Protein backbone atom coordinates (compact mmCIF):
# COMPACT_ATOMS: atom_id res chain seq x y z
CA UNK A 1 0.00 0.00 0.00
CA UNK A 2 1.41 3.42 -0.97
CA UNK A 3 1.63 6.29 1.50
CA UNK A 4 -0.96 8.19 -0.55
CA UNK A 5 -3.42 5.30 -0.36
CA UNK A 6 -2.81 5.08 3.37
CA UNK A 7 -3.44 8.80 3.84
CA UNK A 8 -6.47 8.83 1.55
CA UNK A 9 -8.31 6.22 3.61
CA UNK A 10 -8.42 8.76 6.43
CA UNK A 11 -9.73 11.65 4.33
CA UNK A 12 -12.01 9.99 1.74
CA UNK A 13 -15.25 8.16 2.53
CA UNK A 14 -14.72 5.50 -0.14
CA UNK A 15 -15.28 4.93 -3.83
CA UNK A 16 -19.07 4.41 -3.86
CA UNK A 17 -22.10 6.39 -2.77
CA UNK A 18 -22.90 3.62 -0.29
CA UNK A 19 -19.56 4.29 1.43
CA UNK A 20 -20.32 7.98 1.67
CA UNK A 21 -23.85 7.31 2.95
CA UNK A 22 -22.46 5.22 5.83
CA UNK A 23 -20.06 8.01 6.78
CA UNK A 24 -22.79 10.65 6.64
CA UNK A 25 -25.16 8.53 8.71
CA UNK A 26 -22.50 8.24 11.40
CA UNK A 27 -21.89 11.99 11.33
CA UNK A 28 -25.62 12.63 11.67
CA UNK A 29 -25.81 10.28 14.65
CA UNK A 30 -23.07 12.35 16.28
CA UNK A 31 -24.94 15.62 15.81
CA UNK A 32 -23.24 16.82 12.62
CA UNK A 33 -24.43 17.43 9.09
CA UNK A 34 -22.50 16.86 5.84
CA UNK A 35 -21.93 18.07 2.34
CA UNK A 36 -21.23 15.38 -0.23
CA UNK A 37 -18.51 15.81 -2.87
CA UNK A 38 -17.94 13.44 -5.79
CA UNK A 39 -14.23 13.65 -6.57
CA UNK A 40 -13.14 14.86 -9.98
CA UNK A 41 -12.27 18.03 -11.87
CA UNK A 42 -11.14 19.41 -15.23
CA UNK A 43 -13.41 17.22 -17.35
CA UNK A 44 -12.84 17.85 -21.06
CA UNK A 45 -15.87 16.24 -22.74
CA UNK A 46 -19.61 16.88 -22.65
CA UNK A 47 -20.28 13.15 -22.29
CA UNK A 48 -18.15 12.76 -19.17
CA UNK A 49 -19.46 15.98 -17.62
CA UNK A 50 -23.03 14.82 -18.23
CA UNK A 51 -22.24 11.53 -16.50
CA UNK A 52 -20.77 13.40 -13.53
CA UNK A 53 -23.91 15.51 -13.21
CA UNK A 54 -26.02 12.34 -13.40
CA UNK A 55 -23.96 10.94 -10.50
CA UNK A 56 -24.84 13.97 -8.40
CA UNK A 57 -28.52 13.58 -9.22
CA UNK A 58 -28.35 9.94 -8.15
CA UNK A 59 -26.49 10.93 -4.97
CA UNK A 60 -29.21 13.44 -4.10
CA UNK A 61 -31.76 10.65 -4.46
CA UNK A 62 -29.75 8.49 -2.05
CA UNK A 63 -29.53 11.35 0.45
CA UNK A 64 -33.30 11.72 0.29
CA UNK A 65 -34.07 7.98 0.37
CA UNK A 66 -31.73 7.34 3.30
CA UNK A 67 -32.95 10.48 5.09
CA UNK A 68 -29.42 11.78 5.45
CA UNK A 69 -28.82 15.33 6.65
CA UNK A 70 -26.48 16.33 3.85
CA UNK A 71 -26.08 18.90 1.12
CA UNK A 72 -23.89 18.50 -1.97
CA UNK A 73 -20.84 20.40 -3.19
CA UNK A 74 -19.52 20.37 -6.75
CA UNK A 75 -16.73 21.79 -8.90
CA UNK A 76 -17.60 23.48 -12.17
CA UNK A 77 -14.59 22.10 -14.06
CA UNK A 78 -16.05 18.65 -13.33
CA UNK A 79 -19.35 19.80 -14.79
CA UNK A 80 -17.96 20.98 -18.13
CA UNK A 81 -16.70 24.53 -17.59
CA UNK A 82 -13.64 23.68 -19.68
CA UNK A 83 -16.01 22.74 -22.50
CA UNK A 84 -18.04 25.96 -22.35
CA UNK A 85 -19.82 28.11 -19.79
CA UNK A 86 -23.12 27.59 -21.61
CA UNK A 87 -22.89 23.81 -21.47
CA UNK A 88 -21.80 23.96 -17.83
CA UNK A 89 -24.76 26.18 -16.95
CA UNK A 90 -27.29 23.77 -18.45
CA UNK A 91 -25.59 20.70 -16.99
CA UNK A 92 -25.45 22.02 -13.43
CA UNK A 93 -28.95 23.46 -13.63
CA UNK A 94 -30.22 19.87 -13.76
CA UNK A 95 -28.60 19.26 -10.38
CA UNK A 96 -30.11 22.39 -8.85
CA UNK A 97 -33.53 21.41 -10.16
CA UNK A 98 -33.23 17.97 -8.60
CA UNK A 99 -32.05 19.41 -5.28
CA UNK A 100 -34.94 21.89 -5.26
CA UNK A 101 -37.44 19.09 -5.83
CA UNK A 102 -36.01 17.35 -2.75
CA UNK A 103 -35.78 20.54 -0.68
CA UNK A 104 -31.99 20.26 -0.61
CA UNK A 105 -29.06 22.62 -1.16
CA UNK A 106 -26.02 22.55 -3.47
CA UNK A 107 -22.84 24.61 -3.14
CA UNK A 108 -20.57 25.52 -6.03
CA UNK A 109 -16.97 25.09 -4.90
CA UNK A 110 -14.35 27.67 -5.86
CA UNK A 111 -11.32 26.51 -7.80
CA UNK A 112 -8.16 28.37 -8.84
CA UNK A 113 -8.21 32.10 -9.60
CA UNK A 114 -8.37 31.46 -13.36
CA UNK A 115 -11.97 30.36 -12.76
CA UNK A 116 -13.10 32.85 -10.10
CA UNK A 117 -14.76 35.45 -12.29
CA UNK A 118 -16.46 32.89 -14.52
CA UNK A 119 -17.67 30.90 -11.52
CA UNK A 120 -19.22 33.95 -9.86
CA UNK A 121 -20.87 35.05 -13.12
CA UNK A 122 -22.56 31.65 -13.36
CA UNK A 123 -23.46 31.66 -9.66
CA UNK A 124 -25.22 35.03 -10.08
CA UNK A 125 -27.23 33.63 -13.00
CA UNK A 126 -28.14 30.41 -11.22
CA UNK A 127 -29.21 32.08 -8.01
CA UNK A 128 -31.91 34.07 -9.79
CA UNK A 129 -33.64 30.77 -10.58
CA UNK A 130 -32.31 28.49 -7.85
CA UNK A 131 -32.08 30.10 -4.41
CA UNK A 132 -31.16 26.66 -3.03
CA UNK A 133 -27.51 27.16 -3.97
CA UNK A 134 -24.44 28.98 -2.75
CA UNK A 135 -20.73 29.29 -3.40
CA UNK A 136 -17.28 29.62 -1.82
CA UNK A 137 -14.90 32.55 -1.33
CA UNK A 138 -11.19 32.22 -0.59
CA UNK A 139 -9.69 34.61 1.96
CA UNK A 140 -6.27 34.60 0.32
CA UNK A 141 -7.50 36.52 -2.77
CA UNK A 142 -7.39 40.33 -2.74
CA UNK A 143 -10.71 40.51 -4.58
CA UNK A 144 -12.65 38.54 -1.96
CA UNK A 145 -13.87 41.56 0.03
CA UNK A 146 -15.71 43.02 -2.94
CA UNK A 147 -16.98 39.60 -3.98
CA UNK A 148 -18.46 38.99 -0.54
CA UNK A 149 -20.12 42.39 -0.51
CA UNK A 150 -21.81 41.54 -3.80
CA UNK A 151 -22.79 38.03 -2.68
CA UNK A 152 -24.24 39.45 0.54
CA UNK A 153 -26.18 42.04 -1.45
CA UNK A 154 -27.67 39.25 -3.57
CA UNK A 155 -28.32 37.11 -0.46
CA UNK A 156 -26.24 34.23 -1.80
CA UNK A 157 -24.91 31.89 0.85
CA UNK A 158 -21.12 31.80 1.19
CA UNK A 159 -18.63 29.32 2.57
CA UNK A 160 -15.47 31.16 3.61
CA UNK A 161 -12.17 29.27 3.44
CA UNK A 162 -8.52 30.25 3.35
CA UNK A 163 -7.81 28.83 -0.11
CA UNK A 164 -5.77 25.78 -1.12
CA UNK A 165 -4.42 26.91 -4.51
CA UNK A 166 -1.04 28.50 -5.20
CA UNK A 167 -1.84 31.99 -6.45
CA UNK A 168 0.45 34.77 -7.76
CA UNK A 169 1.54 37.63 -5.53
CA UNK A 170 -0.25 40.29 -7.56
CA UNK A 171 -3.69 38.85 -6.75
CA UNK A 172 -3.31 37.00 -3.44
CA UNK A 173 -1.84 37.24 0.03
CA UNK A 174 1.19 35.00 0.47
CA UNK A 175 1.91 35.29 4.19
CA UNK A 176 -0.15 33.10 6.51
CA UNK A 177 -0.69 35.96 8.95
CA UNK A 178 -2.09 38.19 6.22
CA UNK A 179 -4.43 35.43 5.05
CA UNK A 180 -5.64 34.86 8.61
CA UNK A 181 -6.23 38.58 9.18
CA UNK A 182 -8.26 38.80 5.99
CA UNK A 183 -10.17 35.66 6.95
CA UNK A 184 -11.22 37.27 10.24
CA UNK A 185 -12.31 40.49 8.49
CA UNK A 186 -14.35 38.57 5.92
CA UNK A 187 -15.78 36.29 8.59
CA UNK A 188 -17.08 39.29 10.53
CA UNK A 189 -18.63 40.80 7.42
CA UNK A 190 -20.36 37.56 6.53
CA UNK A 191 -21.69 37.04 10.03
CA UNK A 192 -23.10 40.58 10.20
CA UNK A 193 -24.48 40.88 6.67
CA UNK A 194 -24.49 37.43 5.05
CA UNK A 195 -27.14 34.75 4.71
CA UNK A 196 -26.28 31.81 6.99
CA UNK A 197 -22.53 31.81 6.26
CA UNK A 198 -20.31 28.76 6.57
CA UNK A 199 -16.99 29.37 8.32
CA UNK A 200 -14.69 26.69 6.93
CA UNK A 201 -11.50 26.26 8.93
CA UNK A 202 -9.65 23.79 11.14
CA UNK A 203 -7.61 26.59 12.72
CA UNK A 204 -8.63 26.77 16.37
CA UNK A 205 -7.57 30.43 16.62
CA UNK A 206 -9.94 31.35 13.80
CA UNK A 207 -12.68 29.21 15.31
CA UNK A 208 -12.25 30.99 18.65
CA UNK A 209 -12.26 34.37 16.88
CA UNK A 210 -15.56 33.39 15.25
CA UNK A 211 -17.09 32.27 18.54
CA UNK A 212 -15.97 35.44 20.32
CA UNK A 213 -17.33 37.70 17.57
CA UNK A 214 -20.73 36.01 17.49
CA UNK A 215 -21.01 36.26 21.26
CA UNK A 216 -20.06 39.94 21.22
CA UNK A 217 -22.55 40.71 18.45
CA UNK A 218 -25.36 38.56 19.81
CA UNK A 219 -25.33 36.32 16.74
CA UNK A 220 -27.03 33.02 17.54
CA UNK A 221 -25.46 29.63 16.94
CA UNK A 222 -28.29 28.88 14.52
CA UNK A 223 -27.30 31.74 12.21
CA UNK A 224 -24.11 30.19 10.84
CA UNK A 225 -22.18 26.95 10.73
CA UNK A 226 -18.62 25.70 10.94
CA UNK A 227 -17.41 23.48 8.12
CA UNK A 228 -14.49 21.05 8.16
CA UNK A 229 -13.07 18.29 6.01
CA UNK A 230 -13.81 14.64 6.66
CA UNK A 231 -11.10 12.96 8.70
CA UNK A 232 -9.49 16.19 9.91
CA UNK A 233 -9.73 17.33 13.53
CA UNK A 234 -12.48 14.83 14.29
CA UNK A 235 -12.32 15.54 18.00
CA UNK A 236 -12.69 19.26 17.39
CA UNK A 237 -15.67 18.67 15.10
CA UNK A 238 -17.42 16.61 17.76
CA UNK A 239 -16.60 19.09 20.51
CA UNK A 240 -18.07 22.00 18.58
CA UNK A 241 -21.22 19.99 17.88
CA UNK A 242 -21.53 19.15 21.57
CA UNK A 243 -21.21 22.86 22.36
CA UNK A 244 -24.30 23.45 20.26
CA UNK A 245 -22.67 24.80 17.10
CA UNK A 246 -23.81 23.67 13.68
CA UNK A 247 -20.98 21.61 12.18
CA UNK A 248 -21.01 20.42 8.57
CA UNK A 249 -18.38 17.96 7.35
CA UNK A 250 -17.20 17.93 3.74
CA UNK A 251 -17.33 14.26 2.68
CA UNK A 252 -15.55 13.38 -0.59
CA UNK A 253 -15.92 10.03 -2.30
CA UNK A 254 -15.20 8.48 -5.68
CA UNK A 255 -12.60 6.70 -7.76
CA UNK A 256 -10.67 9.84 -8.72
CA UNK A 257 -9.08 10.34 -5.31
CA UNK A 258 -5.49 9.80 -6.48
CA UNK A 259 -5.31 12.53 -9.15
CA UNK A 260 -7.24 14.84 -6.84
CA UNK A 261 -4.78 14.49 -3.98
CA UNK A 262 -1.73 14.53 -6.24
CA UNK A 263 -2.83 17.87 -7.66
CA UNK A 264 -3.55 19.30 -4.20
CA UNK A 265 -0.23 18.08 -2.80
CA UNK A 266 1.73 19.44 -5.78
CA UNK A 267 -0.11 22.75 -5.70
CA UNK A 268 1.28 24.04 -2.40
CA UNK A 269 3.80 22.73 0.10
CA UNK A 270 1.39 23.86 2.84
CA UNK A 271 -1.22 21.38 1.58
CA UNK A 272 1.13 18.43 2.10
CA UNK A 273 2.08 19.64 5.58
CA UNK A 274 -1.60 20.20 6.38
CA UNK A 275 -2.70 16.67 5.50
CA UNK A 276 0.27 14.97 7.14
CA UNK A 277 0.02 16.97 10.37
CA UNK A 278 -3.72 16.41 10.66
CA UNK A 279 -3.36 12.69 10.10
CA UNK A 280 -1.97 12.44 13.61
CA UNK A 281 -4.52 14.72 15.27
CA UNK A 282 -7.82 13.51 16.67
Question: Among all residues, which ones are annotated catalytic?
Answer: 109, 159
Q: Diameter of the chain by CA atoms? A: 51
* Residues near 2 by beta carbon (within 8 Å), at least 6 away in sequence: none
* Residues near 274 by beta carbon (within 8 Å), at least 6 away in sequence: none
Strands 106-108 and 133-138, bridge-based pairing = parallel
Quick check: helix, strand or coil at residue 280? coil
Q: Backbone dihedral region of 196: left (phi > 0), alpha (psi from -120 to 50 degrees) or beta?
A: left
Q: Which of 88, 86, 58, 89 is CA-nearest to residue 72?
A: 58
Amino acid sequence: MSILTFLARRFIAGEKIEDAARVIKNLNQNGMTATLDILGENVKSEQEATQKADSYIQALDVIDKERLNSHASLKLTQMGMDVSDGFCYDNVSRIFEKAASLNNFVRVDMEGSDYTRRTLDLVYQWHQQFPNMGTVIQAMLFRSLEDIKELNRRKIRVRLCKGAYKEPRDIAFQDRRDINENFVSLMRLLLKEGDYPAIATHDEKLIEATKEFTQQEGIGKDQFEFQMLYGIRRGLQLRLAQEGYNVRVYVPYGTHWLPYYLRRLREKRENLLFFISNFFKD
